Structure 1
């Protein structure tokens, strides 16, 4: 907890991760410490291969093999079993990836409804939430369109809405506009940040783009396995 008594939405303590490649040990994370406060948008900056995705996978509780401690919502993930970690992920985290990974057989509205139904949200409430988010992202007229009928920017907007659907405390985004052209990237990122701030969520956004990183509240740099 910080001195004002506000608890971080996530706290990493001496986080480590190593891999074996060709009989050689490669240290990717070498004791990362990071705390993100409620409502704070943090840019995770670093070149390709620096370990940004590995760090996001750790925070997202998407794989094991990490040393140190990950605390989410005041609860230590390292001391939780698989079921408890799933609950932590579902109740506290949202995800937006570089490639949208939308379900091709479902329209925009349904792609945002489905994660809410999985979390136990009543259907009518999930539908209203889906339409609210998509409309806020300028897709109110595209609710019934499947991913193949949407542009790249529109598909990524649906992915943003899906990531925020369950009102996460923390949104994790891995190069969320990395596959878009610069003009579309700027527009989608601006809408993304505006929506995250409006929702009151925190966010950790991995990028290699210094210009985009400067639009966020704080920048941390991953270099040689440590944050600067």
Structure 2
């Protein structure tokens, strides 16, 4: 008899009818017009769309980075739209990781410290945070660069540190917004390959926004944002 256990796995993120509009010059601009999406544990999804299509807005919705969104945003089984600001902050801290096009590293801290920081904020002690940061950076080929500040690292190395930071708290879902868009093609390929390898090794899911079809093809599934809806 089929117990149905295989059907009990819940998505890491579930969007239903998500909307977002902006007012500009007295005109309402509908950026998201009823987005539906489910991402399962461990699944790596490419979010494709041209510049200005709303990819960043959609990531902001899932990342709980600002208000103004309509519809249902479920993160790890919790309805984010029902939470207050403190609840959304805790949900974001405990379940999500972020990697941006520009690394946004803290300039006064070295690579190891930058990756330790989100762990310390979450409550890890120095030894735990340092060991985890060391492991991630070494896995990304930066074992000899741990004590270098961002200004002493190349663009590709800086983005590798940002990748390690995004994975530091073992998030169930990593949100990446054009994570290699600021790199040359050769470096972008290497960093993305390392990013995907590390995400898969960690068992995290990921939603990666890109306009690059070739990079999107490296992922498990592709969804396309067009006129405010996914196709």
TM-score (norm 2): 0.97
Q: Any unmatched runs of 5+ in structure 2?
A: none
1:152 maps to what in 2?
155
User: Equivalent residue of 2:22, what SS?
Assistant: strand
Alignment equivalent of 2:72, drawn from 69, 73, 91: 69
Per the alignment, residue 171 of structure 2 pairs with: 168
After superposition, residues 1-228 of structure 1 pair within 5 angstroms as: 4-228=7-231
Residues 78-109 of structure 1, C-alpha deviations (whole Å, 9 max, x = no match): 00111111110000000000000000000000
User: RMSD between aligned alpha carbons?
Assistant: 0.9
**Cα distance in 2 between the residues matched to 1:99 and 1:74:** 30
State the Cα distance separating 1:122 from its structure 2 match: 1.4
Q: Distance between the aligned counterparts of 1:57 and 1:125, measured in 2?
A: 30
Which aligned runs of 4 or more in structure 1 are off by greater than 2 angstroms? none
Secondary structure of 2:7's counterpart equals coil
Separation of aligned partners in 1, 2:87 and 2:107: 30
After TM superposition, give the deviation of residue 184 of structure 1 in Å.
Answer: 0.2
| Aligned partner of residue 225 in structure 2, secondary structure | strand
Cα gap change, 1:3 to 1:67, in 2 (>3 Å): farther
2-side partners of 1:168 and 1:123: how far apart? 19
Q: Secondary structure at the match of 1:64?
A: coil
Number of residue equivalences: 227
Residues 82-140 of structure 1, C-alpha deviations (whole Å, 9 max, x = no match): 11111100000000000000000000000000110000011101000000000000000
Deviation at 1:3, TM superposition (A): 6.9
With normalisation by structure 1, the TM-score equals: 0.99
Output the CA distance in 1 between the equivalents of 2:92 and 2:23: 27
Three-state SS of the structure 1 residue aligned to 2:105 is coil
**C-alpha separation between the residues in 2 aligned to 1:90 and 1:65?**
20
